[in-house]
Structure 1
């Protein structure tokens, strides 16, 4: 494990030196494949590590439209595409267009995903035992298209179209998915509309030093649009970044998700992962309701080096009134380090270790902050 992590770090640092990435404000000018007055195409090698995937690697590119720009946030329209393979035999292909119109007053944010993904399942609920773990295989096609309107100076509001087709191709014989009537255990389609509202004053997106980010989403999957089951999903994501002196800050996040209706297990709230609940496998606990609250202290002891420590708690439940029983809360704590890859750009290499309840733990290696 130590050798794999070290090898991954060396690969990613090497890839970053000879590749080009876009941060929230500027472009890192390195490996440009094509460049004209109207567009710029770059190559992006990829390497990462998470408990859910193991070591992952691949590549892609990013096409920037130099004449279509958000003049208020100094961000360029672009299309990001990538293909990734992991040592857990997972295959992912993604295309993400982000197009600004009217100098940034309007924004199209879209995403397509093809995923062939062996994954783990423990059942549904906040207290599923580790011995329940079973592996299933699934192929997913997903499309998400958002159209947002800027409401000066820092508000954005818009609508979404959502489509996901989950095809479960292999399950464990006599396992939970085989013997229990779990919605989505064979095939499920999620299709419907949503609304998005956010307030964003962060100084940058990948590694904020100050500001606020408040987002609310409402999504509605309906048989009218071709969904196999109808349900509603409501998400609230609140973040604050408070500087402490010149070299450190406290970052806070409160995330809640509430689902109502007949929800396939693929769309249930998922506890764990490298962003919201480090120390737990993503999807280790699934249910209709979830909250996660976390605090992180970040100390930039050198211009390009940061140390971090974090503490979090949360849980899933079938109903909101089942929350806050002390024995059901899933806490986690951990430490991490970040290294700024480029002197004048806010692109950070992140390494975290999180320790959760019981035997749960995780090592996370990737780009930029968890939140």
Structure 2
């Protein structure tokens, strides 16, 4: 039974990869826009017709701030409650400079977990410099299932941990959409408590490779090459984003081991209507440990990308391995002509390796799928409130709340 499923999903991933490669050179037949209804966001509901007519759409000098409550659910957190701040602004002429965005989130869950983060994408005048930050403090827990995508949901073992993360990357515009840069990446995992036995995968991994199972650090430097022609970093209507990077984690920087990581990512956006309210979005990335040995929690895993969006349909960390490849495609469409309400449908696939168990990439591929609602929070910055429901194999499911698109 696994053979045809594996074959079909491998074909799906191959099609996604080929589509991303040829997409910039293909012209799609566009669906005609049937209405010239002005675009609206949630705040327009409370404005009079006179106020809407007088409203200026020049957002080049505005700072768009939004505070929202957070309510979401997935199996690893239970119900999550908190607050999220989304701030978007321009640091240059809005005709030649992409929008900068900062997200701040504080939340607490019914599983007694605390999450806080600051994630930023700061773009200077004429897109000359791009600073990307990912700062986190977690007091949390999550189940671990072992390595590779062949693992079973019933084999979960709960792992308590705290995390301090400081990632800061800067790229410089070389010419056109081409960028190059470097970054600093620091992770400190501490207060780790494994609720399994000495025979479970986490303890066996720590013993085999000589890690203290209660705490470890991954500290490194990295180099990045990028191509970024997106028209908007929050909600792209067109363009591509491609990135190649290598990170070098070292004991000399305070890390627990020496190892290196290769990352490759590609995103593309294709309009299906002239106003881009109907469009396809594609996302493929690879996260590969290419030398040395990384601590267990530093191994590539779904849900541990910058915005924690990979693997909708599964809980964070459900699939983990020395190498991981992920692909997703999403159809985005309006529910009302003004763009106030929209929807998405998505499908994704994950594969991860387990070298200790002789499980290679693409031996097992796990699919996910789902749909979501989009509520226009700010029409000028294109910011949406996103609420998604995803499902995966082995009765896995989750509800995901965010401000900003999944990719």
TM range (shorter): 0.7 to 0.9
Aligned to 1:339: 375
Q: Does 1:366 find its partner at 2:381?
A: no
Query: If the length of structure 2 is used for normalisation, what is the TM-score?
Result: 0.72
Aligned to 1:165: 188
Cα deviation code 1:121-150 (max 9, x no counterpart): 112222222222121211111212223211
Q: Secondary structure of 1:197's partner?
A: strand
Aligned to 1:54: 78
Q: Secondary structure of 1:322's partner?
A: coil
Q: Distance in 2 between matches of 1:26 and 1:255?
A: 35
Q: Secondary structure of 2:382's partner?
A: strand
- Following TM superposition, by how much is the alpha carbon of 1:181 offset from its aligned partner in structure 2, in angstroms? 3.7
Map 1:281-360 to 2 at 5 A: 281-302=315-336, 303-318=339-354, 322-325=360-363, 328-360=364-396
**Ranges in structure 1 where 5+ consecutive residues have no aligned partner:** 1-12, 18-23, 30-41
Aligned to 2:288: 258
Q: Comparing both chains, which one has the higher relative contact order based on Cα–Cα distances under 8 Å and sequence gaps of 6 or more?
A: 2
Query: If the length of structure 1 is used for normalisation, what is the TM-score?
Result: 0.79
Question: Is the contact between residue 294 and residue 311 of structure 1 (CA under 8 Å) also seen in structure 2?
Answer: yes
Q: Distance in 1 between matches of 2:321 and 2:80?
A: 28
Q: Secondary structure of 1:359's partner?
A: coil
Aligned to 1:229: 257
Cα deviation code 1:144-181 (max 9, x no counterpart): 22232112322221101111111133221526267524
Question: Is the contact between residue 121 and residue 130 of structure 2 (CA under 8 Å) also seen in structure 1?
Answer: yes
Which residue of 177, 191, 200 corresponds with 2:219? 191
Distance 1:102 1:189, change over 3 A: same
Q: Does 1:241 find its partner at 2:269?
A: yes
Distance 1:59 1:312, change over 3 A: closer
Distance 1:211 1:285, change over 3 A: same
**Ranges in structure 2 where 5+ consecutive residues have no aligned partner:** 1-41, 47-58
Distance 1:250 1:215, change over 3 A: same
Q: Distance in 1 between matches of 2:121 and 2:405?
A: 21
Question: Is the contact between residue 171 and residue 177 of structure 1 (CA under 8 Å) also seen in structure 2?
Answer: no
Q: Does 1:268 find its partner at 2:299?
A: yes
Q: Secondary structure of 2:234's partner?
A: coil
How many residues of Structure 1 are paired with residues of Structure 2 in the alignment?
335
- Following TM superposition, by how much is the alpha carbon of 1:184 offset from its aligned partner in structure 2, in angstroms? 5.8
- Following TM superposition, by how much is the alpha carbon of 1:62 offset from its aligned partner in structure 2, in angstroms? 7.4
Q: Distance in 2 between matches of 1:227 and 1:115?
A: 19
Map 1:4-23 to 2 at 5 A: none
